[in-house]
Amino acid sequence: MSRLPMPSETEAFPEETRAAVRHILQTRQSLPPPSTYLTYAGKAGALLSDLVDHLRYHTSLTGAETELAICTAARAANADYIWTGHVRLGLQAGVREEALHAVDTYGPLDGLTADEALIIRFGRELLEASQVSDATVNAVQARYGERGLLELTAVMSVYMMNAAILRVMDHRAAADARHLTPR
């Protein structure tokens, strides 16, 4: 049970919230919890939903690269709810189980493809270290270009924000979900 009710189009919520909920339903055909909770802040929820949609489906990254980046962020945030959904989506998009295992367990990156290792290394530095090394930034830029560098940064960062929203709402993964390995 979350700390606040999930916003909806009912009279229990202000018109600004209901308008944002309608926008999310029109553009996403579902009400993903992070964006929907943010509709308590009105249009911010609709904007977050649009940003997430863009970063997931309309960038230069492949679906597998995007999902691996999201799973890396979910691990860094210790966000079971995000991990559960995006492991499933990642496998459907072509992310290899070996890469997901390395992310989940903070395992070594040898044995992974060069792209898998690069995305995970970049995410670990971006989200868990005090800075991202020049070598890693240069490697990401060389592989994905300036656009891809910023798209990876943005998708990982927005999922850290999603994790923070879910943590504040105490929105948890189902008991039978594929949970992260305890740290």
Residue 115 and residue 125 in contact, taking contact as beta carbons nearer than 8 Å: no
Mean pLDDT estimate for the chain: 97
Residue type, 8: S
Q: pLDDT tens-digit profile of 89-146?
A: 999 999 999 999 999 999 999 999 999 999 999 999 999 999 999 999 999 999 999 9
pLDDT digits (tens, 9 = 90+) for 50-87: 999 999 999 999 999 999 999 999 999 999 999 999 99
Which tokens go with 128?
A: 């868990």
* DSSP label of 62: -
Q: Which domains does the chain have, with CATH numbers?
A: 15-57 (no CATH), 63-169 (1.20.1290.10)
Give the Cα separation of 70 and 56 in Å (integer): 9
User: Which pLDDT value is given to residue 1?
Assistant: 74
pLDDT digits (tens, 9 = 90+) for 157-176: 999 999 999 999 999 999 99
> Residue 65: how many CB atoms within 10 A of its CB?
25
Contacts of 21 (CB under 8 A, 6+ apart): 7, 8, 9, 13, 31, 36, 39, 45
